[in-house]
Amino acid sequence: GWVRRGFAIGALGALMLGAVACGGDDEGADASEDEETTSGAEAEDLLGPEDLAEGEPVRIGMISDGATQAFDNTDELRASEAAAEFWNTHRGGIGGRPIEVVTCETGADPAGATDCANQMVENDVVAVALSQSAVADSVWEPLHAAGVPTMFLQTSTEGLLADPETSFTMLNPLSTLFGVPIAAAEAEETERIAFVNIDVPQALTSFESGAADA
C-alpha cells in the first residue's frame, strides 16, 4: 500500500507540474523565417540529457472538463501527455518506470464526471490528477470511495478538502477568494466587503458552506 501511495504521489506531482503550465501564449507563433532556430545541442541543454524510463508503466489518470459550448480545456490533456513524455524521456519516469497517462473528458457534466471516475477505477490507475472542474464533486466521490489518490490544482469540494488520506490540493481557493479582499479591506480600514457573484452552485458553494464566516 505504501509503495502504491509513493508511486501515486510522485506521478501526480510530475503530471500536475506539467498540466498547470499549459496556459502559455502564442506570441512566437508568427516569428520570421530568418530567426535562429534551436539547435540539437541547445535543446539538450534545455531539456537535459536522456534518461529513459523502462519496464511496466505506472498508469495515472488525467481528467478534464475538456471542450464544452462555454469553454475549451483540452489543453490540460495535451499538456499532461507532454509532461509525461518529457518525464519518461529525460527524468527516468517515476521510480525508473514510464508514466502512462489515461485521459477522460467530463464535458462539465455530472454524469460525464462520474463516468470518467469509474473509467479510472476500471483502468486500475494508481492516482488521478485534475486541474479544476465545474463538476469536481462528481469526479472525486467515486474515486474517494475506491481509495484512488487524487490531486487537484484547486477545488472547493468540502469532502476532498477534509480528507487527509487520499486527497491532495496544490492551491487553496479560499485564500484567493477571501484572503485578498480581506487584506485589501484591512489596508483601507474598511469593515465591509461586497461580492458580485453569478447564481450557480459552483460559484456559491464557498459562501453557503460557512467558509466565508470563518
Which one-letter DSSP state was computed for residue 209?
A: T
Does residue 102 have a pLDDT over 80? yes
CA torsion sign for 167, 111, 132, 5 is: positive
| Number of Cβ atoms within 10 Å of the Cβ of 150 | 27
pLDDT digits (tens, 9 = 90+) for 142-178: 999 999 999 888 777 778 888 888 888 887 667 777 8
Cβ(172)–Cβ(154) below 8 Å: yes
Beta-carbon contacts of 6 under 8 Å, excluding residues fewer than 6 positions away, are 95
pLDDT digits (tens, 9 = 90+) for 4-56: 555 555 555 555 555 555 444 555 555 545 455 655 667 667 888 899 999 99
- List the one residue out of 65, 72, 62, 53 whose CA is nearest residue 18: 62
What the block records as the C-alpha cell of 91 is: 527524468
Mean pLDDT (whole number) for 111-124: 96
- Could you tell me the pTM of the whole model? 0.68
Alpha-carbon distance of 214 to 81, in angstroms, equals: 39
> Hey, what amino acid is at 161?
L
pLDDT digits (tens, 9 = 90+) for 66-99: 998 888 989 889 988 998 999 999 989 888 999 9
- Residue 143's Cα: distance from chain center in Å? 15
